[in-house]
Amino acid sequence: MSSADNARLQTHAPAWLGLLSELGRRVALPMGIPSQSKEAGKAHTKATIGQLTDDDGNPITLPSIAAHAPGDLGDTFKYAPLAGIQALREAWLDHQRDVAGVEVGGITLPMVTHGLTHGVALTRDLFVDDATHIVLPRPNWENYEHLYGLYSNPTFHFWDLFDDEGRLNLAGFDACLQDTADAPKRIVVLNFPHNPTGYSPTLDEAEALMARIAGSATPTVWLFDDAYQGVVFEDGVQPFSLFWEALSVVDHAHSLVCKVDGATKEFAFFAARVGFITFGAPEAAIPAIESKLLGLIRGHIGSPNGPSQTMLLQALRNLDEVREEQAAVLEQMRVRYERLKELLADIDSPELQVLPFNSGYFAVIRVHGVDADTLRKHLIDAYSVGTIALPDINGIRIAFCSTERLDEVVSALSAAMADLRVA
């Protein structure tokens, strides 16, 4: 089956075929239980998939568990489709287009993943091998390096997110793109609002990033990690995913664009583990792309979580109410953001350098003169305050989404720094 998928890609999306890893070329959805069960969907009697049902297809459940079901018992108790519940996939695409205010075609219907991490892992399996070059900002979400380096040895390239003036470091980004211009293939990760710094590009900076994407002739997967989409606190900042504009400017003869997102942050549904992955692709190539994704999903997780999908779908069917609730949560985070901005502006310590932040759930302080992990441990031991150390920039990340005690956090940070300076 993979040979037929690859032939379809060669005809309709040759850039895809050139970017695939050995695994990506080999994988396809096998003609196993899910495929055969789907073929038998119209049969009167179904003795196919191994799940407990009556002859009307209703699940046989334990009443003590069914009493707590979030919605339709079928969606809650039966295996979800490999790609996710169809109505949810359609509703998620409508939601994402609505947020961005676009009606763009030429994309796959979002597939459900087991959280955003799984979405990134799917791009690894599709595209990453020893020949791949991966471009990341510094600092970055440490799981990128873990995921992409887990099964092969790609070459990593890093650009400092900020220049010396505290602006988005477009010159550093340019240098990284130039260093990888002759690479056989590369993945460039763009994550805004950015984890860990909480920065989103200004509208001018976003336009400059699009110009770089439009001007690239290197075979590239442009990966947009949109985990924190919409969590923006300042005017003049890119308010939604750059995926949609990249889709219209990228040279599809060489490259492709991918969007990973999910319910975790956008819908404050952290335990759900419902993510999505969407690709730009010509319609004729989509069956081959979906076959490869389904083959990986079947091998990774069997099928995605049904109850969580059902709950999210109910929310998406009541978007007016949910939008009001999201706005209330965002306002709650805005209050914390503004308070943390005030507190950090008043820090009187040249050894603590606050990096720019205007969105997301975090702020980062670069530490000078003291090891950041030593400072992190001292904050726990002496002040009972937990933070995250970022060794690649010797920084401390404060997650203001997780606590209202920001005065305590910043006071402890200053005091702990003073302790270690004296020591």
75-104 residue pLDDT tens = 788 888 999 999 999 999 999 999 999 888
Q: Which fold has domain 336-422?
A: Aspartate Aminotransferase, domain 1 (3.90.1150)
Fold of 2-39+48-317: Aspartate Aminotransferase; domain 2 (3.40.640)
Q: Report the distance separating Cα 313 and Cα 188, nearest Å.
A: 31
Task: Please state, in angstroms and as integers, the Cα–Cα distance from residue 51 to each residue in 22, 42, 48, following that order.
Answer: 34, 17, 9
What is the full DSSP assignment across 151-213? Answer: SS-PEEEEEESB-TTSSB-HHHHHHHHHHTTTSSEEEEEEESS-TTT----BHHHHHHHHHHH
Across the chain, which has 423 residues, the per-10-residue mean pLDDT values are 89 96 93 70 72 84 86 82 95 94 90 97 98 98 97 98 95 98 98 98 98 96 96 96 96 96 91 95 95 94 90 93 94 98 93 97 97 98 98 97 97 95 73
Residues 23, 30: contact at Cβ < 8 Å?
no
For residue 406, what pLDDT is reported?
A: 98
Is the pTM higher than 0.75? The answer reads yes
> How do residues 223-274 score in pLDDT, each as one tens digit?
999 999 999 999 999 999 999 999 999 999 999 999 999 999 999 889 889 9
Instruction: Sketch the domain layout of the chain as residue ranges.
Output: 2-39+48-317, 336-422
Read off the tokens for 414. Answer: 């200053």
